[in-house]
Amino acid sequence: MKIYSDLTDIERPFYKAALTIGNFDGVHLGHQALFRKVVEISRDTGGDKVALTFHPHPMKVLRPDNPPKLISTLEQKVELIMAAGIDHLVCLPFTREFAKTTASDFVEGILWRRLGVLDLVVGYDYACGKGRQGDIEFIKKAGSRLGFRVHVVPPVKVDGKIVSSTAIRELVKQGDMKEVRKMLGRYYQIRGIVRKGKKRGGPVVGFPTANLAINKEDLCPKPGVYAVQVLHGESCYKGVINIGYNPTFGDNKLGAEVHIFDFNRDIYGHEIKVNLVARIRDEKKFSGPQELAAQISTDIEKARDILSGLNC
């Protein structure tokens, strides 16, 4: 997949472009339906498969005091869009100046003239341009005038509920990883570089851990203990993670500590990816290392049971 970070990177319009647009935060089942439609259309027309997205998320620019916590990083989003079979990803910088673009300028100037859209695939609630002036009816009229087709994909529902990034964010905050997986079509994942912690996991408690920082901008699951899959390089391991403030030792900084089963390697400075499979319990304060170790043993037993039937 070829990635374009600015319109000036695109030398000529794409060939018979089947194109979809969105923020694609999380690349959930609703987004995947858009990509499938693009791939289906391209199969018939022989045209390029194109996705248009924005970075940073528009709400980070338009609502900087209260931006949404994002389900996926830009890196994750790119990986998932590529896996969906898209040929070209246009990732436009979203600025306050760009936000002033009218619906007419966006559709005619960018989608039609610059990108060469022949088939535009949008979600049922899509709108574009300053103040969301360009609703679906507007886009359909523009398509009739300019000569491109508009395909509206209906909402995707899981258990009668519409799949949306907003709904998924709330489920992540609640720690409901079972429902999150249903809407994402995969496990919710956090990732980061393993950093040196306070070295209490192995020497003090008896369970070595890999420590990850959680930034304040990250979408953090509800604090607690989770059964997880840990991806390191090309390998996958099972484990348990504690997300929270480690109250037993009086810490006050949010972080994550992963105990990887049957693993004894030095991975400081390495990136790991952690799939959150199921929440086991709330974070608790214990009387000391001995009581904490006993609880971790119980957590590990529960996690092994949860993960036993899963391929990793």
Same domain, 193 and 157: no
Predicted confidence band at 197 (pLDDT cuts at 50, 70, 90)? Answer: low
* CATH number for 218: 2.40.30.30
Phi, psi of 80 (to 5 degrees): -70, -35
Residue 275 lies in a domain: yes
- Condensed to tens digits (0 to 9), the pLDDT of residues 250-303 reads 567 788 999 999 998 999 999 999 999 999 999 988 877 888 889 999 999 999
Please tell me which of 131-135, 196-200, 252-256, 282-286 the model is most confident about, judged by mean pLDDT.
131-135
Residue 166 lies in a domain: no
Least confident span in 56-60, 94-98, 289-293, 301-305: 289-293
Same domain, 220 and 116: no
Number of domains in the chain: 2
User: Which pLDDT belongs to residue 186?
Assistant: 98
Which residue, among 207, 201, 215, 153, has the nearest Cα to 28 in the 3D structure? Answer: 153
| Mean pLDDT of all residues belonging to the chain | 93
Q: Given 100, 127, 161, which residue is the final one in a domain?
A: 161
Same domain, 138 and 227: no
Please give the residue range of the domain that contains residue 220.
187-307
Residue 179 lies in a domain: no
Same domain, 201 and 238: yes
Predicted confidence band at 201 (pLDDT cuts at 50, 70, 90)? Answer: very low
Same domain, 13 and 110: yes
Q: Is the pLDDT of residue 246 over 80?
A: no
Phi, psi of 125 (to 5 degrees): -110, 20
Same domain, 112 and 12: yes
User: Which pLDDT belongs to residue 204?
Assistant: 44
Q: Given 143, 161, 179, which residue is the final one in a domain?
A: 161
Select the more confidently predicted residue: 86 or 253. 86
Residue 288 lies in a domain: yes
Select the more confidently predicted residue: 201 or 308. 308
Residue 172 lies in a domain: no
- Condensed to tens digits (0 to 9), the pLDDT of residues 286-296 reads 877 888 889 99
Residue 312 lies in a domain: no
220-245 per-residue burial string, b: 16 or more CB within 10 A, e: under 16: bbbebbbbbbbbbeeeebbbbbbbbb
Same domain, 127 and 202: no
Q: Is the pLDDT of residue 162 over 90?
A: yes
User: Which pLDDT belongs to residue 199?
Assistant: 53
* CATH number for 8: 3.40.50.620
Which residue, among 263, 253, 249, has the nearest Cα to 213 in the 3D structure? Answer: 253
Q: What is the pTM of this model?
A: 0.92
Residue 7 lies in a domain: yes
User: Which pLDDT belongs to residue 245?
Assistant: 85
Average pLDDT estimate for 122-141: 96
Predicted confidence band at 249 (pLDDT cuts at 50, 70, 90)? Answer: low
Same domain, 153 and 24: yes
Q: Is the pLDDT of residue 141 over 90?
A: yes
User: Which pLDDT belongs to residue 216?
Assistant: 74
